[in-house]
Structure 1
Amino acid sequence: MERYDLVYRLYDEYETETLREYQEFVDVFPAVDSRVALDHWQEAHEELEERKDEIRRDFAAGETFAEIAARTTRDQAFTALDLEAKYGRAVNVLVLDVDETLRSAGGTDNEIPRETLHVLTEFHESGVPIVICTGQTLENVKGFAIQGLGSEIVHSGDLSIVYEAGTGVFTPGHGAETKQLLYEDLDESIRTVFDDVRSRVLPEAPEDLRRGCHLQGNEFNVTVKPNYETGSSRAREIIDEALVYLIDLLADAVAGALPHEDGDADEDGNGADEPTLEGESIAGWTRAFYAEQDSEIRAVLEGEGAYPDLDPDAVPEGLAEVLSRIDVAYYEADAAEIGSLELNKVVGVERALEVLGVDDAFALVMGDSKSDLRVMEWAAENDAGIAAAPEHASRDTLEHVLETDELVFDRGKSVDVLRTVYALNRFARLR
C-alpha cells in the first residue's frame, strides 16, 4: 500500500486529534513538585502509549506512523509526504531566524513558545544541528539560547550562532574555531568606512533622532533602532528619518576615500563643503544608488522628500564600486542599518556548516526578512534545503516561499513547520 494511502487510513481510522493532545500534554507538562500532578502526568503518559501501541501493531512501519500521528495534523503529514516525494531526503540542519520567526512580539509576548522549544530539543536529540541566524548581537542571542534551549544544547557542539547578519559566527565547543570574526577579513578601506559612520552616527545626528533612537551594540554593523519609549506610533517616522540620515552619513564617509570636487555654495552659502562627483553631490548619488537597489528605500526617500532627480545608471563608477560592497537595509518601524554585502547571513551560514561538519546540507531555513531571503535563495540555488516564513514576513520573502513549497505559518506558530519537517524526516527513513 502506498504511503499516501497509509496516511489516509491513519487519520481516518484513529483518533489522532486526541492522540496529539495527550502527546502535547506529556511533552510540555511543567516540572512541578506535586504528587497529584505527577500522577496525572503518569496516567496521561500511559494512555498515550496505549494509543500509540494500537497504531504500532496495525502498521508495518508502526513506530513511524504512531509518532507522526501523535505530533502532526493531517495537513502537516500530507505536506511532509509531498516534500519527501519532491526532494527525496531528510532535513539535516535547521537554520533559524529568531525575532518574528521563532518568537513574535505580536502574539507570544516575545518568548519562544514551549512547544517550539520542545520540538527543537527533539531535533537536537536526533542529531540535527541547529544554526541560529540573526541580526542580533552575540550577547543577546547567547542569552536567549541558554535561557530557551538550555546550556546543554548550546554547548553540545551541535549549535552555531550566526550573529549580526553574518559578521560573526559563534560555535561553542570547537576550540580555535569557536568564535570567528568574519569582518576582520574585509579590506581596511571598507572597515574604515564603517568605523567612521559608527563614530559619528549618534554624535552628529539631529536632536530628534538622538532622543528617539539608539545604536544597537554591534561589533561591526551599524544599526539604528527606535527607543522603547518612542512607541510604535513614532517608530516608523523615526526610522524613516534615520534611514535618510544614515545614507547621507555613509556617503560622506565613502567620500573620504574617493577623489571628488568641492560642492558649489548656493546663494545662502549652503553646500560649499559638500563633496561632489560629476557636478552632483555624493549624497545624491548614494541616495539614487540605494533607491534603485530597494523599492522600500526608494519609497522612504520619496516620502521624506529626499529622492534625488538623478539617473541611478549614471552613478560614477568609482562610487558605485564602493557602494556595491555595502548594504543599506530598511526594516519598517524597526531599524535602519548598514552592513557589508561581502558579509551576510549566507556567508555566516556557510562558515557555521563548515565548523559543524555538515558536508551535504539540506536545511530548513526559517525567517521573515530580506537577509533571511538571501539564505533561502542560496538553499534553492544549491539544492540545499527548503524555506519557510511567517505570514507577516517581507513581501519578497513571502513570494519566494509561496513560489517554492508554500511553507507559510501563522504568527507565533513556527512549531507547525517544525512538526511538518519532523514528519518529513520520519518518512525519509522509510525509503
Structure 2
Amino acid sequence: MSEAKADPKRVLLIISGGIAAYKSLELIRLLRRQGVGVRCVMTKAAEQFVTPLSVSALSEDKVYTDLFSLTDEAEMGHIQLSRSADLLVVAPATADILARMANGNANDIATTVLLATDKPVMAAPAMNVRMWTHAATRANIATLQQRGVEMIGPVEGDMACGEFGFGRMSEPAEIAAAVMARLDTPGTQKAAQTGPLAGRSAIVTSGPTHEPIDPVRYIANRSSGRQGHAIAEALARAGAQVTLVAGPTRLADPVGVETVHVETAQQMLDACLAALPADIAVCAAAVADWRVSGKAEQKLKKDSGALPTLTLAENPDILATLSRQGPTRPRLVVGFAAETEAVLEHAIAKRKRKGCDWILANDVSEGTGTFGGDNNRIHFIDQNGHDDWPESTKAEVAQNLARKIAEHFAKDSS
C-alpha cells in the first residue's frame, strides 16, 4: 500500500500598493514551481500596479480584494481565509501596511486577515530610503518583530524614485528561498533534516567587518552580505545545520540558521573556531585585511591641529586558518575572491596560497554593481581548473553552490 502524499504547503500572499508589487508575480511563479499553493489578497492600492487577473492566472486561484464582498464571505469568510494557509507573506510590505499591522488596524481585507490569523507572518518591506529610516517605521518594525513577524530585507539599491539606499524589496528568488525555509521550519525549529545535506554541518561567513579607529569611526568595505546570507539559507534548505557568522549588515537573519553577529575580523575568526567541527566552511565575508593597531580610546578631534597617523596591523586570515590541515579542518573549505582586475589569475593563486578546496571569484570593480547589487557572476575554481558560471541572482548563485556541495558529498560517500 503506497503512502499518502503530504498535503501541499499553502501561502497566503498579501500584496500591498507599491511599485515593487510587480515582483509579486515572479514570487508567485517561484512558489508554485516549488509545489506551494498560493492564494492572494490585494489591497486597493495594489490594484494600481498589478491586476487581479494577472495574479489569479499565476496563482491559479481566486484573488480576494474586498472585505465586504458578500459572495466571498459566504464562500470563505476573512477569518477562515486568515487561517487556511500555513504562512502569511506580505510582499511588498509598504510603510503604510506595516504601520497598520503594528497598530492592529483592520480597515480592509489585508489588515483584517493579518489581525485575525494565528499563523506565522513574514513581510518583505519596500519603500523609499527616507521612509525606511524614519523613526516611525523603525518603531513599527521593532514592534512587529517583537510580535514574531519575520522580515525579509529590505536591501540596498536603486529605487523607482531615483534615490539609492536601503528600502528596496528583496528579489523574488530571495523571498521565495526565505519562505521555503520557513515552511520547512515550523515554530522555531531548524530546517528539516531531509535534504541532500541532511546530517552535515556548515559554517558560513558573510558581510563586511568593521575595524575601529576610535569609538566613532571604523575601517570597512562595501559588502552588503547578501551573497553570504543567501548561501547560508540555501545550505539550510538543503538540510545542513548552518551557523552563519555575520558581520554588520542590514539584512534579516536567515530562517532556519543559527546566526552569530560580530563586528571585527578577530571576532569573526573566534566565532568560526567556536563553531567547529563542521563538514563545510564557506568564507563569503569580505573581511578587512587590516585593523588599526591600538585604536584610540576617545574620539579623535579634527581641531587638534594635526592629522592623525594610523598604524595598521594585519588581521587574522580566516580562510587560511580554516583551510589548515588538522583534526578540526572542515572536509570542504570554500573561499571567495573579490577582485578588481586579473580576476581569474588572482583567484587561482589565492586558492593555492590559502589552501582551500574551492574558490568562487567575482569582479567587484566599480561599475559591476556586485557589492550591494542583486546579481553576481562567478568563476568557480578547484584543483581541476575553472568553470565560468553565467551571471545570475545571488540567490541563484547560492542555490548552485549548495547543489554542487551536495553533489561533492554524494560522490565522496559513494
**TM above 0.5, one fold?**
no
TM-score, normalised to structure 1's length?
0.27
TM-score, normalised to structure 2's length?
0.28
Higher strand share: 2
| Higher RCO (CA-CA < 8 Å; seq separation 6+) | 1
